[in-house]
A = this chain, B = another copy of it.
Amino acid sequence: MEKRVKTINDSLVRIYGDILWIEENELRQSRFKDLTIKDMHAISAITMYDQKTASQVAKELHLTPGTLTSTIDRLEKKDYVKRIRSNNDRRVVRLGLTKKGRLMYRAHDAFHRMMVDSFLKDVEPDEIKTIEKALRNLENFLREHS
């Protein structure tokens, strides 16, 4: 592998591996000790805003419907998430966050904001375009392969 490509690859691999682990540690030291990172990412995917359906969230998280059901059971029991039966279609479960869930959501979002801010530290506005281009490239690559 060309050296530059290899360096960037190694960096991406390290970052990828470390992020989950660091998020887990931050979580354990926070007031949300009763959650795993998977729980946190479920809360993050549900979001404060949309009232997505269970199927939508399952797809985003690449989980089977059964697994999502048990994830939601757990988060509902711990009072982070609530199920809202759709009135249009009584089969559909829409998902929302409780007050506690919204607190968690904001805390996680704040951590991500810090992470991205650090990522862009000393990066000039016109350089940001380069980064956005590269990320779009990668997303396109992943889309082609899925």
Using a CB–CB cutoff of 8 Å, the interface residues on chain A facing chain B are: 1, 4-5, 7-9, 11-19, 21-22, 25-26, 41, 44, 60-62, 109, 112-123, 127-128, 130-142, 145-146
B18 and A135 form a contact (CB under 8 A): no
Q: Select one of B15, B116, B142, B146 contacting A135, CB under 8 A.
A: B15
Pairwise interchain contact A112-B13, C-beta atoms closer than 8 A = yes
Chain B residues lying within 8 Å of A118, measured Cβ to Cβ, are: 137-138, 140-141
Name A's interface SS: helix
Contact A146 B25 (CB under 8 A): yes
Report the separation of the CA atoms of residues A1 and B16 in the bound assembly, to the nearest whole angstrom: 23
Residue of A7, A122, A130 with highest tally of chain B CB at under 10 A? A130
**Sampled A-B contacts (18; CB under 8 Å):** A1-B113, A5-B117, A5-B120, A8-B131, A8-B132, A9-B113, A11-B135, A14-B139, A15-B135, A16-B16, A18-B142, A21-B62, A22-B145, A118-B140, A120-B137, A123-B133, A130-B131, A131-B131
